[in-house]
Amino acid sequence: MRPITDISKVLEQYGVYLRIEKGLSDNTARGYATDVEHLVSYLRSEGISPENADGVALELFVGTLKDLGIQARSQARIVSGIKSFYKFLQLEGYTDGNPTLLLPAPHIGRHLPEVLTVDEIDQMLSCIDMSTPEGIRNRAIIEAMYGCGLRVSELIGLRLSSIYADEQYIIVNGKGNKQRLVPISPIALELIANYIHDVRGTMTIKKGNDDIVFLNRRGSALSRQMVFIIIKQLCELAGIRKTVSPHTLRHSFATHLLEGGANLRAIQQMLGHESIATTEIYMHIDRTMLRDEILQHHPRNRR
């Protein structure tokens, strides 16, 4: 565990994590960051640094929200932000454990993630200029993320030594450094192979990045921010007005598999979810789409 020496820098890094890794909108990310700032201020008044706060200290903070008359929905959002913040601190090595695991919050219902249609994915791909090195790379990136359901951290950490083209599998390093085997399509493999041969093979690669698949112009691994920018720009070119992030491709991957008849357990393994309950949100999305289709097309609802 390492101490927090500059909380403002940590909060800035947390904001990037929310937008890129979690796929939250700028407004939502700012809201979470503001809520965490309130928590940090409260802990400071109690003489507690964020990385040393325990569950009792956090419950006392949540208790003050109710005393201030903050509505249950807002309380739930704040608790959600706190949990996200401590998950981030744990991932970055600032805490050994997560004191928010048993932190209670009002139940407000489930947020359904944004999903792209297959046509919208195709529109994004059609906007890529394959005559440029960046276009060749970006096409391979989109195919890998959408075709394998990868998190952005898993994409930028993908290694050449983890691609088994003959078997059509890749090894992915997921959350908690847990590895999983993920099938990859022949199309994605061909695009990655073309990128490696035509683009990557002509680059001067910086030391330490020799085994990383996707690189920037300077020969270094891509950042999360860069992948976010690539996807955002493609959506703008395609005229897609949804709030889209790298995580949207992962949600779309899972939803389209379910719509195509894939088993929920298989999707769970592909996504690397420890609990089937996490994957079941896509079942809810599928039911929601079914409901919308019925309401839109059933003759008794078209009057």
Catalytic residue among 151, 200, 224, 256: 151
- Residue 40 · residue 7 · CB < 8 Å: yes
Residue 110 known to be catalytic: no
Q: What is the mean pLDDT of residues 167-195?
A: 89
175 flagged as catalytic: yes
Indicate which residue of 14, 17, 195, 282 is catalytic: 282
Catalytic residue among 19, 22, 200, 247: 247
Based on the fold, state whether residues 132 and 63 are members of the same structural domain: no
9 catalytic, yes or no?
A: no
Q: Of the residues 175, 284, 287, 291, which is catalytic?
A: 175
Q: What whole-number distance in Å separates Cα of residue 79 and Cα of residue 62?
A: 7
Q: Give the number of domains in the chain.
A: 2
The CATH number of residue 155's host domain is 1.10.443.10
Q: Is 180 a catalytic residue?
A: no
Residue 232 annotated to the active site: no
Whether 79 and 154 map to the same domain: the answer is no
Residues 150 and 209 in one domain: yes
Asked whether 58 and 100 are in contact (CB, 8 A), the reply is: yes
Q: Which of 30, 87, 159, 273 is catalytic?
A: 273
In a domain, residue 257? The reply is yes
Range of the domain at 55: 7-91
Residue in the block written with tokens 């093979």: 201
Average pLDDT score over the chain: 84
Instruction: Name the DSSP letter for residue 153.
Output: H
- Least-confidence region, from 56-60, 129-133, 153-157, 228-232: 56-60
- Alpha-carbon span 204 to 192, nearest angstrom: 18
Instruction: Please check whether residues 258 and 134 belong to one and the same domain.
Output: yes
Do residues 11 and 140 both lie within one domain? no
Is there a domain that residue 187 lies in? Answer: yes
Q: Are residues 270 and 164 in the same domain?
A: yes
* Residue 108 within a domain: no
Tokens of 88: 């981030």
**Maximum mean pLDDT: which of 59-73, 191-205, 261-275:** 191-205
Distance between start and end Cα atoms, the chain: 63
247 a catalytic residue: yes
Output the domain CATH number for residue 29. 1.10.150.130
Of 41, 73, 91, which residue is a domain's last?
A: 91
Instruction: Please check whether residues 230 and 274 belong to one and the same domain.
Output: yes
Q: Look at residues 72, 91, 110 and tell me which one is the last residue of a structural domain.
A: 91
14/91 Cα distance (integer angstroms): 11
Q: Name residues whose C-beta falls within 8 Å of residue 251's C-beta, 6 or more positions apart in sequence.
A: 113, 114, 115, 282
CA distance readout (Å), 255 to 36, 98, 113, 178, 251: 32, 30, 10, 23, 6
- CA–CA distance, 179 with 186 (Å, rounded to integer): 22
Q: Which residues contact 161 (CB under 8 A, 6 or more apart)?
A: 211
Of 77, 224, 250, 256, which one is the catalytic site residue? 250
For residue 179, give both structure tokens. Answer: 């590895």
Strand bridging mode 179-183 / 163-164: unpaired
Q: Are residues 82 and 147 in the same domain?
A: no
Tens digit of each residue's pLDDT (9 = 90 or more) over 207-250: 999 999 999 999 999 998 899 999 999 999 999 988 888 888 98
Same domain, 52 and 176: no
169 and 287 together in one domain: yes
Running DSSP on this structure, what letter comes out for residue 223?
P
Residue 298 located in a structural domain? no
DSSP-assigned letter for residue 170: E
Same domain, yes or no, for 129 and 216?
yes
Task: Find the angle CA(108)-CA(280)-CA(244) to the nearest 5 degrees.
Answer: 75
Q: Binning pLDDT at 50, 70 and 90, where does residue 107 land?
A: low
For residue 110, tell me if it sits in a domain: no
**Cα distance between residue 176 and residue 39, in whole Å:** 26
- pTM (predicted TM-score): 0.59
- Does residue 102 belong to any structural domain of this protein? no
Q: What is the amino acid identity at position 153?
A: S
- On the question of pLDDT at 190 being above 60, the answer is yes
Whether 206 maps to a domain, the answer reads: yes
Edge-first strand listing for the sheet containing 179-183 = 163-164, 169-173, 179-183
98 located within any domain: no
Whether 43 and 124 map to the same domain: the answer is no
